[in-house]
Amino acid sequence: MVQKKEFLYEGKAKKIYRTDDPAVVLVEFKDEATAFDGVKKDRLEDKGILNNRLSALFFSLLEKQGIETHYLKTVSEREMLVKFLEIIPVEVIVRNIAAGSLSERLGIPEKTELKKTVLEFSLKDDQLHDPMINHYHIYAMELAEPEEMAEIERIALKVNQILVPYLKEKNIVLVDFKLEFGRHNGKILLGDEISPDTCRFWDSSSGEKLDKDRFRRDMGGVIEAYREVLRRLEENDTPAVD
């Protein structure tokens, strides 16, 4: 049994602790919600519990499909054990439908289906407001090697290919999402979390937002939406036999 040890790092939505195994850390999902680089803040009761469950579910699904992630196991309501990663400070955004900053930046109306999946990269730096960067910046700043970026892009697109049809079955459109990667024993692994905090999920029938945009846009019903996503994903998806 891996033991939780001293506190290592606190992010906006998670706290990280060392364990007695240097290759393993414990992630605790907090209830705090932030948006606009931390300018908007609130506590959303049970968000941490829901995101711990949802991330575990997505990581397990991806592992079954051959994607290597940092996820090891869930140890409590809010805690999971993960492989320790040397985080690559690049946020990878995958987009299927125009929304959020893409719509603002390029004037493509929200809800427009993109003819090709779009990948974007941002420097993970709150003080600089996570500026968008390209491969030239990544290599000039020595954030990652070209071979590593090729692997990151391959994994990001594969994750999208797995999650789009999986969520479609649950009547959810995967609009866009953010991934983070890190190095572990010379390999690139998928890290961070996959949850309604980091993805845009729209109900396929009504278009209703089931993600953090409800918080960003003061729409209310944030936790109810996260719970609804979890309910749909945990629903037995074996087709009824008559």
Which two structure tokens, joined as six digits, stand for 190?
């998928």
- In terms of phi and psi (left: phi > 0; alpha: psi -120 to 50; beta: otherwise), the region of 36 is left
- Does 102 sit near ligand UDP (CB under 6 A)? yes
Q: Which is nearer to ligand UDP, 24 or 87 (CB)?
A: 87
Instruction: Give SS3 for 72.
Output: strand
Q: Which is nearer to ligand UDP, 2 or 100 (CB)?
A: 100
* Single residue of 78, 130, 215, 225 touching ligand UDP by CB under 6 A: 130
* Single residue of 101, 117, 184, 204 touching ligand UDP by CB under 6 A: 101
Which two structure tokens, joined as six digits, stand for 167?
């969520």
What DSSP assignment string belongs to 84-147? --EE-SEEEEEEEE--HHHHHHH-PPTTPEEEEEEEEEEE--GGGT--EE-HHHHHHTTSS-HH
> What is the torsion angle, in degrees rounded to the nearest 10, for the CA atoms of residue 227, residue 28, residue 159 and residue 225?
20
- Does 178 sit near ligand UDP (CB under 6 A)? yes
* Single residue of 27, 57, 93, 210 touching ligand UDP by CB under 6 A: 93
Give the DSSP H or E segment for 103: helix 100-106
- Does 79 sit near ligand UDP (CB under 6 A)? no
- Does 195 sit near ligand UDP (CB under 6 A)? no
Torsion angles phi and psi, residue 90, rounded to 5: -130, 125
* Single residue of 58, 121, 177, 181 touching ligand UDP by CB under 6 A: 177
Q: Which is nearer to ligand UDP, 4 or 12 (CB)?
A: 12
Which two structure tokens, joined as six digits, stand for 112?
């427009």
Q: Which among 51-59, 154-162, 171-179, 225-233 is the span making contact with ligand UDP, rule CB under 6 A?
A: 171-179
Judged by CB under 6 A, the number of residues near ligand UDP is 14
Task: Tell me which residue has tokens 């706290």.
Answer: 15
Q: Which among 15-23, 40-48, 55-63, 98-106 is the span making contact with ligand UDP, rule CB under 6 A?
A: 98-106
* Cβ within 8 Å of residue 225, ≥6 positions away: 196, 208, 209, 210, 211, 214
Closest approach, Cβ 200 to ligand UDP, in A, equals: 4
- Does 209 sit near ligand UDP (CB under 6 A)? no
Q: Which among 61-69, 108-116, 192-200, 231-239 is the span making contact with ligand UDP, rule CB under 6 A?
A: 192-200
DSSP letter (8 states) at residue 239: P
Torsion angles phi and psi, residue 197, rounded to 5: -75, -25
Residues that bind ligand UDP in the complex, under the rule CB under 6 A = 91, 93, 99-102, 130, 176-178, 198-200, 212
